[in-house]
Amino acid sequence: MDRRIVWAITVAALATIGSSVALACGDKFLMVGRGLTFQRAYAAVHPASIVIMLPPKSMKSASVRDSRLQSALKMAGHRVEVVKQPADLRDALARSRQDIVLVERADADAISGINAASPKPSIVAVMEDPSPAEFAAARQQLDYVLKTPQPVNQVLNLLDDVMKARIEASRRASGL
């Protein structure tokens, strides 16, 4: 009887040592601690050149100043430049072609008057905790409004939508 138990333990040990783990598609991501976060897996469909204007001493610019937003934009494949003054923004727009300008709602009207190289960048106004009436009014005046706080993935999706609209507009303009 003892020989049978020893023999069964030996066979079981050899079977587990000799077997290999076969994981199906996606199973390896379901193991604890091996899943991908959205920020690491997300790559921009249409990478953009983005200028973020950070006005000095603005209390309502916490959402634009968030370093996590800037790092998420870079990880997604966007090229990000940060400026602090409207004069610096003029220089950045004259120096290279920019696709998107992220700016606070209060500064969006002043920036729309800046002459930029063709094609003009899309201005995305950032509003922090706006009331529904303020948000609706901004949507009527501007093409793109970003309401914060929002998860980073929704911000990245909005920027992809902006780039998609820019690409479609350039295709229509060229007659393709």
40 — pLDDT class (breaks 50, 70, 90): low
Domain enclosing residue 150, as ranges: 46-174
Does residue 130 lie in a domain region?
A: yes
What's the CATH code of the domain at 110? 3.40.50.2300
Which residues, 6+ apart, have CB-to-CB distance to 143 below 8 Å?
122, 123
If one counts the domains in the chain, the total is 1
Backbone angles phi, psi at 145, to 5 degrees: -130, 130
Q: How far apart are the first and last CA of the chain?
A: 84
Report residue 85 as tokens.
Answer: 């003054």
> 7-16, 74-83, 110-119, 129-138: which has the minimum mean pLDDT?
110-119
The 10s digit of each residue's pLDDT in 122-169 is 888 888 888 888 888 888 888 888 887 777 888 888 888 888 988 888
Is 37 domain-assigned?
A: no
CB-CB contact of 72 with 152 (8 Å): yes
Does residue 5 belong to any structural domain of this protein? Answer: no
Predicted TM-score (pTM) of this structure: 0.67
> 85 - beta bridge partners?
none
pLDDT confidence bin for 20, thresholds 50/70/90: low
Do residues 127 and 138 touch, judged by C-beta distance below 8 A?
yes
Q: 39 lies in a domain?
A: no
